[in-house]
Amino acid sequence: MITTKQAKTILSTMRAAVAALHEVWAKCREVELALGHDLDGLEGVIQDMAAGLDDPESIDVAYVRDAINAQADELVAEADACPGCGERNVDNLVWQKDGAHVKCATCGKRYAPQSK
């Protein structure tokens, strides 16, 4: 059980943490808008992190790390994004039979990514 003195000591830190989570949430929305892609699992991860503020010991760090990495795995490197529209979602960038080119399902541009 946390004492009143401890609560007063950590209250400002907890408020700062909540404010930081709201900033992270807003930045995630900016990323989604920029990509034109809903990062489905990300909202749940942020909610789980926020819930952990009530009980920091309950935060499963491995789960948070794995969930964020899974979202990142859906995107190609910025250098390999479609030069036509900036698409980075691997589901929308289809390798062509020649093995050297990718066709963007979003804008139709065919290009050779910098890396394979």
Pairing of strands 102-104, 93-95: antiparallel
Overall residue count recorded for the chain in this entry: 116
Q: Return the pLDDT at 21.
A: 74
Number of H helices, E strands in the chain: 3, 3
* pLDDT tens readout for residues 49-71: 667 666 666 666 677 667 666 66
pLDDT in tens, the chain (116 residues): 667 777 778 777 777 777 777 777 777 777 777 666 666 666 677 677 667 666 666 666 677 667 666 666 678 888 899 999 998 888 899 999 999 999 999 999 999 998 76
